[in-house]
Structure 1
Amino acid sequence: MVGTNVSQVQCPLNHNYGCSLDEDGIFGPDSTAGLKAIQRCSGIVADGEIGPDTWKYLDYPKTTCTR
């Protein structure tokens, strides 16, 4: 995936979870790894897909998952 939608995922991964991703709009291996780590920590399926449950935790992170 590439584009502004990807940047909208990279931003909360950086700001809410302390990831160090380039907010470049490219969903590469680092973005995928960060997303899957957050999904695992949040107790949802770590599939790298961004569904409603993933969005919920991107916007409102569990305190135990933040760095």
Structure 2
Amino acid sequence: ETTEASAELAGSGLVAEKAKRLQKLDDMRAEGTNPYPYRFDRTITLHELRERFGDLEPGTETEHHVAVAG
């Protein structure tokens, strides 16, 4: 990166904005908050899955789409 490019970025406020955002991430982590939380919507429990589809052979495909977690 050239000094000209660095000066251009600094003049545009991008360097300050990046520093601000990185500090916000550090603050969230220090508070014990995950800055990139995940979400997973379960549609069926493992118990229900085994009850409904436990008799299928491994590799069998059906028209049902489910999401389990754990």
How does the TM-score come out when normalised to structure 1?
0.28
| More RCO (CA 8 Å, sep 6+) | 1
